[in-house]
């Protein structure tokens, strides 16, 4: 079982919430964000990511991404920017809307505009918005890594991938099978038609083959 996805098994987020809290607090402190403002935003993050409709895009998804980020060699500034991106990228998540990424980026901007340099804030917005179609703008290395972290679950062991598949279907439960299946097939095929699913060399080497095998398997189930 892939160690970076074990959290996806039905554990209470309280088991790893202290780690997420610490990451958030340390990042906020490094940017001199007032403690009360940081606490208020973290409370909003907790409430949104623990919503009843969040079967996959929840706090365990964030924690899994952070575990993978910890394995990457990043500068402190790059890791900080990716930390913000991970916390905010699915803050707004409504399967009936098509502007979740832009609204999530707006939330990040509202919270961080007084603390980040203009160019860093612009890059953060770009990274979050790139998760809409999972294509990096200008092939920026941070966007590439963020997208790979976000889609790492595609390369999980079959047992965990199947849990992910079921969780995604539950998030889209408002749509009948006759609508969901064609849409899901379109998404899966769009990834398989790409030259590579992943953008970073480490993900391509270690995860590309498993991801393609899983996507092809899911297509056969639909």
CATH number at residue 59: 1.10.3210
pLDDT at 5: 57
Q: Do 50 and 129 lie in a common domain?
A: yes
pLDDT at 48: 97
Residue that terminates a domain, selected from 130, 150, 170? 150
Q: Which domain holds residue 115?
A: 12-150
Residue 2 lies in a domain: no
Per-residue pLDDT of the chain (222 residues; tens, 9 = 90+): 344 555 555 567 888 999 999 999 999 999 999 999 999 999 999 999 999 999 999 999 999 999 999 999 999 999 999 999 999 999 999 999 999 999 999 999 999 999 999 999 999 999 999 999 999 988 899 999 999 999 999 999 999 999 999 999 999 999 999 999 999 999 999 999 999 999 999 999 999 999 999 999 999 999
The total number of structural domains that make up the chain: 2
Q: Do 79 and 146 lie in a common domain?
A: yes
DSSP-derived secondary structure for the chain? --GGGGGGTT--GGGTHHHHHHHHHHHHHHTT--HHHHHHHHHHHHHHHT-TT-SSSSHHHHHHHHHHHTTS---HHHHHHHHHHHHHTTSS--TT-S-HHHHHHHHHHHHHTTTS-HHHHHHHHHHHHHTTTT--GGG-HHHHHHHHHHTGGGGS-HHHHHHHHHHHHHHTTTS-HHHHHHHHHHHHHHHHTSS-S--SHHHHHHTHHHHHHHHHHHHHH-
Q: Do 16 and 46 lie in a common domain?
A: yes
pLDDT at 11: 63
pTM more than 0.75: yes
Q: Do 98 and 183 lie in a common domain?
A: no
Q: Do 16 and 61 lie in a common domain?
A: yes
Q: Do 42 and 132 lie in a common domain?
A: yes
């Amino acid at each position: 079982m892939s160690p970076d996805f074990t959290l996806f098994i039905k554990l209470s987020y309280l088991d790893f919430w202290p780690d997420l809290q610490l990451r958030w607090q340390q990042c906020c402190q490094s940017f001199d964000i007032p403690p009360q403002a940081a606490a208020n935003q973290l409370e909003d993050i907790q409430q949104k990511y623990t919503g009843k409709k969040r079967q996959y895009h929840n706090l365990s998804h964030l924690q899994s991404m952070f575990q993978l980020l910890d394995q990457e060699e990043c500068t402190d500034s790059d890791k900080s920017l990716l930390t913000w991106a991970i916390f905010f990228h699915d803050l707004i998540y409504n399967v009936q809307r098509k502007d979740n990424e832009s609204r999530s980026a707006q939330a990040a901007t509202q919270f961080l505009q007084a603390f980040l340099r203009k160019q860093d804030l612009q890059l953060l917005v770009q990274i979050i918005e790139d998760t809409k179609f999972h294509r990096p703008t200008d092939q920026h290395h941070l966007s590439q890594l963020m997208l790979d972290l976000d889609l790492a679950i595609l390369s999980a062991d079959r047992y965990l991938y199947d849990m992910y598949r079921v969780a995604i279907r539950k998030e889209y439960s408002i749509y009948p099978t006759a609508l969901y299946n064609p849409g899901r097939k379109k998404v899966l095929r769009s990834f398989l038609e790409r030259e590579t699913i992943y953008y970073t060399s480490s993900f391509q080497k270690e995860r590309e083959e498993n991801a393609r095998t899983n996507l092809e398997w899911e297509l056969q189930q639909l």
